[in-house]
Structures are given as structure tokens and as C-alpha cells.
Amino acid sequence: MRIISLEETASTNDFIRSFLCGGEDVIVTAARQTCGRGTKGRSFLSEAGGLYFSALTFYAPHALPAERAFEIMMHAAVSVARTAARFGVRPEIKWPNDILAGGRKLCGILIENVLSGGDVHASIVGIGLNVSNDLSALGGIATSLSEQTGEPCTVAKARAVLIEEFLRPAAFEEYLSFVRFLGQRVTVCEGERSYPAVARRILPDGRLEVETSAGVAALSAAEIGIRVGEI
């Protein structure tokens, strides 16, 4: 796998797109992004002190059926959780792929899949990991490895660990080991509608099974959001 380190780029996900025609797996990291992107078109704060990482993976000759795309998200989340754990942080995965530490967000994950004939031909996994960056502009919703450990963490070390963990496979059981809200009450947000439920389990295809007053339902992360501990 080719690994590229940049001081600055607009977006590591955008930069890595230039390798889509090559068929080679590539990892790109940057010390800073000038136009970082989050999910649903949001901007992503990408100042120095964070680790900005993108990985391009091709699935040929063994195609990955689109219905198994959750495995890509699962692998990315586990890679970050394992990285945090190696720094002595106790990470938690909030379904489907938010990584929390101390109840606050430790990273952002943006996945862009290239589909072909009902299969995932390639995926771009973007990860923005807070290492020692200033997060004061985010109003307390985010945290960093340095804040959680109480001592300085270097981007260089975080980069090495995250690459190592990303290159290791991840199992569904390992993903579940980092999920801590199952069995709790949650608020399901579905468009303009919200309703209480109890989170029962996560299915192997990535859907969340919840129990509501109307019965049991399996929900897709593409369609809903949840708030934990609210009724």
C-alpha cells in the first residue's frame, strides 16, 4: 500500500480521488486541511494538531456487495477506537460510527463509496482525529487524545498507530465491544419526527434494532439519528 504524508491539502478525501483510476490502495495523511468536509456537506475544522487521514481501498477482484457496505464503516470505527485505546483512552462507538471519549466526540469519519453494478468497487474512508488541536471553537462537544490522557500526544505517533490499526482487519464482535448504549433509552430522530425507544441490538448489516411502543423495528443510519439517554 502506498502511503503519502502531506503538510497541507484542501481535503485528504479530495486529494486521494486522483488515485481512483490507478487501482492501487493508498493512504494519505495531512497535518492540516483548508477545506475539510464532514458528513451531510458540513465543514470540518481541520487545524494543526489534528490528524487528517484518508484511505482508498479497492475490492476487485472480490467485489463487496453494496448490502455489506456497513463493514467499511465498522472497520473505520474500530480502527479509531483501537487507536484511542492504545493511548490509554476509553473509547465508545455511538452507532453507527461516532467515536466518543468522556462523552465527547473524538473524531469525524466520512466514507465515500464508488459503486458499480450493485457492488462497492472502491471506498474512500476519511478520518479526522483530534490529537492535540484547539477545539475551543466547538463549544465543548469535542475532545482530543491529549485532553483525555492529560498529557501531550503527538500527531506523528497518532499517525503511525492509526495506519497500523487501519491495516488490521476488524470483526463485528470487536465493533460491538466498543458499543455501550445498547439496552438504554434513546430518542430516535426521523426527519421532523422524534420518538422514544430502547436500543436492543445492532444487526450484522449495521441496522439498529429498537423497541418502541409500536413494536420492534430495525433502523438504518442513513435514514435516522439517535440521542442516547433521552426520552
Q: CATH no. for residue 15?
A: 3.30.930.10
Which residue matches cell numbers 444487526? 203
Q: Are 173 and 107 within one domain? A: yes
Q: Check whether residue 55 and residue 127 sit in a common domain.
A: yes
The pTM of this model reads 0.93
Contact 215, 200 (CB under 8 A): no
- The residue range of the domain holding 87 is 2-177
Q: Are 146 and 221 in a shared domain?
A: no
**Furthest C-alpha separation in the chain:** 53
For 76-134, write each residue's pLDDT tens digit: 999 999 999 999 999 999 999 999 999 999 999 999 999 988 899 999 999 999 999 99
Task: Identify whether residues 105 and 65 lie together within a single domain.
Answer: yes
Q: Is the domain of 75 the same as that of 152? A: yes
Same domain, 136 and 165: yes
Per-residue pLDDT reduced to its tens digit, 25-81: 999 999 999 988 766 556 666 788 999 999 999 998 878 999 999 999 999 999 999
Handedness of CA 44, 181, 158, 75 (dihedral sign): negative
**Whether residue 61 is found in the same domain as residue 164:** yes
CATH no. for residue 198? Answer: 2.30.30.100
Cell of 133: 488541536
- Same structural domain for residues 113 and 222? no
pLDDT at 230 over 80: no
The answer on 142 and 45 residing in a single domain is yes
Crossing angle (nearest 10°) for helices 70-86 and 155-166 = 140
User: Nearest Cα to 108, choosing from 134, 132, 137, 143?
Assistant: 143
Looking at the structure, do residues 206 and 153 belong to the same domain, yes or no? Answer: no
**Do 61 and 95 fall within a single domain?**
yes
Is 220 found in the same domain as 199? yes
Count how many domains the chain has.
2
Q: Which of 108, 155, 125 is nearest to 5 (CA)?
A: 155
